[in-house]
Structure 1
């Protein structure tokens, strides 16, 4: 029998509304999260009102509309977690709003599972949502709803958490938005593997086509349509280039209205509240790691800190990668999936599959909250197949943060992880020198092209011939942009010069 302080996930819930479906309401982020939270409470098979009243902590991921300093277009709650709590009849002592990043759902699950094990909490609801579909739907309409709410009360707002993800230097050079950021990582990996542009795009399509098959069968998917490899790899008007190397169908689908929630409690509380044991799923393995800053990484085409997190979570669970029966690997783009496969020796064609939801390009990319849907699917999968293990890998920033959870119905007492100690290993990784104001002859280390800018703009990470230091530069030079978008620019000779608005590159 496990210790009564052992944390278990006892309820999960999801909600999706699709633009174009009958009954589409253009819901607020609060209402989306509340629908998922209510589903999670009811999923416990205990009395929903009693379970909701027992929640002593509610923790929310941060949706896009409150992830920056600009006002929320349709208004917002002054206390997102407490607005959700009120909808389901909960009045927790503590409300938490997490920092940005796709790692945040798994990070919160791990953090508050540990708090329960330590006796610092008994019942915790982790929830989140994204309402980008509503924001876009009402953007040009006269009948805009008002999603403003004033509820007050205690709130532990942890801030945006931008540190280590981007700064003035990266923003000046166009690293705004995930596609351009991950395009640099993707092409750096392509350089290491020695693949052509066409071969790498084919590999991405072969990775993602099976994801779309899963999404097509998932009732919570935002885009439940199966896509073929050719359909994903072929650039057309409907599958236009976003940023190299990505056509539209291979980037996270961000126009979604989705919510997800998970309810965690101690084994003792689960017994007291009457939650049946067949609902209990244990967090058997876990780890949280942060990567080096982008430009310091020795290999821009890899994220070794993420691999450390996976290995540590497996160690805590007491199993190897072969002991995992199901995976949900964060898939905003191909790179985070490829990186884990590269690092742990997992085939991209593994018969176990690499997603339980269908992945961010097809299931949907609900901002920072995607992996809470992955966790919900993992919990349900483990309940359906008792005794097996599922691994959820949650990625945030520019492969900046990675949180891993391993789930099973197989009981075991809580085991702490060594993430803090392992972080010292990351701090000791070799770091590449950076020259912010670059001048002289250089070569292209990696690159992307912003097709969403007029004129099309190349974003380059280069190395100076003089000292091998790394720099960022942009270019609108026709010859260089033509090479970046239609040739093989890796290793190409360029000239770079500093300006008041950042470094500019031209062909040498």
Structure 2
């Protein structure tokens, strides 16, 4: 029995989603339209007039269009003036963070009604640009600075070698983690295909998904003209799909306000608590790549909320930009390879409206809890395995007040080992810490990239030219991981380190 006052118990009462597939490019909805419609659908779902009383509004960062102060433009459309009105930085974890922070505000008594929303119209924006169609949207704010991401945080050598985008950085975690677990590359690929197929099964049953069909594991892992290799080991069907038009929103209020508004008890979903932590933005400043200390700390903290057992969650959403993320997460949670990792469908199949996928995941989780799940886990991640936030939701009211201090950064940092010095010039022997191979659109190898430890245990990046077939064959051997293998480092004429297998 809870002893918390109902006016300090936050509840999620409404969820709304919209998917826009215009027949004509110019008819596509802009992000502001999608945000507004998603919020109005969330209000309709709640069955009570709440939007006019929103005192806390968080808008997830979007990249398909640029506005000056989009959160204020949205508030104007809604006719509200919330005390907290925020448009945040990029980050796939941000929807979960905003939901959690909104719940904390309600628990502190700072607001009674809160909204979290996000949207992208990348499919329409891309098609319009390619076709030369001028969209009848709010004028693009060219004077607003583009959000910092990717290359802005990385070392020049990483940028020069092309390993500064998610699709070329996550392979370092993929190769290092599978080697650490004792898997051959073929076994790791099989696990990825099986896991991703489960995401596609969920998407096939989700009316809001962009790709609504099940893909067999071998369809996902086999390169074809349509499923081309991008960066080893990732084919197109193993990476996030941002070419979508989607909006999602959630409405939160206090239990007291929900009851006063006559919202049905079976609509209510309770945030029980969560945790957050992060890595350095520059991924080369991390101690290793076979696990994430912040991810571990966050997931262990939310397990502690339910008695330390990850199997108590009967509904789970593990962030799914690339397979290594849920593969690492399910191991930390103590879950087997048969895990059902999603209630939504994943960023490949449901679609990846960039930073706001977890808004849709939260909507799907609310529906799942309403349908009978007792405990739900929402785990979001942003950057390059950088920012982590998890939230536990329940059908049952909390017994204690929602915790306000939820950072587990100290725990993550406590487990961190010494970070090797990074050097841009090296010669002699180099041991593979991790690797990837980059491919062109036609399927040809552009070059390989290895992350190396030198004989004095420094770290560097090195190129493998497309002409070095022996070294590339060594890297791409499906029966034996190249992680840990030795080779020779030499400086190329352009000043970039190159590596050749011994």
1:123 corresponds to: 113
The answer to whether the Cα contact below 8 Å between 1:172 and 1:501 also exists between their aligned partners in 2 is: no
1:36 to 35, 38, 49: 38
Asked whether 1:439 is paired with 2:426, we answer yes
What residue in structure 2 maps to residue 209 of structure 1? Answer: 197
- Give the C-alpha shift of residue 165 in structure 1: 5.7
Secondary structure of 1:308's match? helix
Q: What's the CA shift for 1:199?
A: 2.4
- Choose the corresponding residue for 1:91, options 81, 97, 109: 81
Whole-angstrom CA distance in 1 between matches of 2:211 and 2:146: 32
Deviation for aligned residue 1:167? 4.5
Whether 1:423 and 2:422 are equivalent positions in the alignment is no
Once residues 165 and 112 of structure 1 are traced to their aligned partners in structure 2, the CA distance between those partners, rounded to angstroms, is 29
**RMSD of the TM alignment (CA)?**
2.8
The answer to which of 448-457 and 469-478 deviates more is 448-457
Any conservation in 1 of the 2:272–2:393 contact (CA below 8 Å)? Answer: yes
Asked if 1 retains the 8 angstrom alpha-carbon contact of 2:488 and 2:501, the reply is: yes
Q: Cα deviation per residue 1:22-49 (whole Å; 9 max; x = unaligned)?
A: 89933211112222111111111113xx
Structure 2 residue aligned with 1:357, among 341, 344, 348?
A: 344
Among 12, 15, 19, the alignment partner of 1:16 is 19
User: Is the 1:288–1:419 contact (alpha carbons within 8 Å) kept by the matching residues of 2?
Assistant: yes
Matching residue within 368, 372, 384 for 2:359: 372
Q: Which runs of 4+ in 1 moved over 6 A?
A: 21-24, 161-164, 498-501
2:135 match: 145
| 1:392 maps to which of 375, 378, 385 | 378
Residues 18 and 434 (structure 1 numbering): CA distance in 2 closer, same or farther, change over 3 Å? farther
Indicate the SS of the match to 2:349: coil
Change (3 A) 1:111 1:496: farther
1:322-343 deviation line (CA, Å, top 9, x unaligned):
2211101101111110011121
Q: Is the 8 A contact 1:233 1:247 kept in 2?
A: yes
> What per-residue deviation string (whole Å, max 9, x for no partner) do you get for residues 278-308 of structure 1?
2221101211111355334343021132121
**Alpha-carbon offset, residue 160 of structure 1:** 4.4
Equivalent residue runs for 1:259-274 within 5 Å: 259-274=247-262
TM-score by length of 2: 0.89
Contact 1:329-1:393 within 8 A present in 2 as well: yes
Question: Contact conserved, 1:58 with 1:125, CA < 8 A, in 2?
Answer: yes
Task: Give the structure 1 partner of residue 499 of structure 2.
Answer: 505
1:7 corresponds to 2:10: yes
Q: State the Cα distance separating 1:135 from its structure 2 match.
A: 1.8
TM-score (norm. length: structure 1): 0.88
SS of corresponding position for 1:63: coil
Structure 2 residue 65 is the aligned partner of structure 1 residue 63: no
CA distance in 1, matches of 2:149, 2:24: 38
Find the counterpart in structure 2 of residue 277 from structure 1: 265
Contact 1:218 1:357 in 2 (8 A): yes
2:225 is matched with which residue?
237
1:322–1:483 CA distance, 2 compared to 1 (3 A): closer
Residue 79 and residue 212 in structure 1: after superposition, are their counterparts in 2 closer, same or farther (change >3 A)? same
Counting only pairs closer than 5 Å after superposition, residues 441-460 of structure 1 correspond to structure 2 as: 441=428, 442-452=430-440, 456-460=446-450
Larger CA deviation: 92-101 vs 356-365: 92-101
Segments of structure 1 that go 5 or more residues without pairing to the other structure are: 66-71
2:336 paired residue among 344, 347, 360: 347
- Structure 1 partner of 2:67: 77
Give the C-alpha shift of residue 162 in structure 1: 7.1
Quote the offset at 1:418 in angstroms. Answer: 5.0
Q: Is the partner of 1:456 in helix, strand or coil?
A: strand
2:471 counterpart of 1:474: no
Residue from 168, 178, 181 that aligns with 1:193: 181
CA shift for structure 1 position 98? 1.3
CA–CA separation in structure 1 for the residues paired with 2:76 and 2:196: 39
> What residue in structure 1 maps to residue 104 of structure 2?
114
* Aligned-partner SS, 2:183: coil
Deviations 1:112-160 (A, max 9, x none): 2112211222211110012211121111223220433599xxx9x9974
Given the superposition, is the C-alpha separation of residues 451 and 477 from structure 1 closer, same or farther in structure 2, using an over 3 Å criterion? closer
> What SS does the corresponding residue of 1:478 show, helix, strand or coil?
coil
Structure 2: unaligned runs, 5 residues or longer: none
Q: In the alignment, is residue 100 of structure 1 matched against residue 90 of structure 2?
A: yes
* Residue matched to 2:53: 54
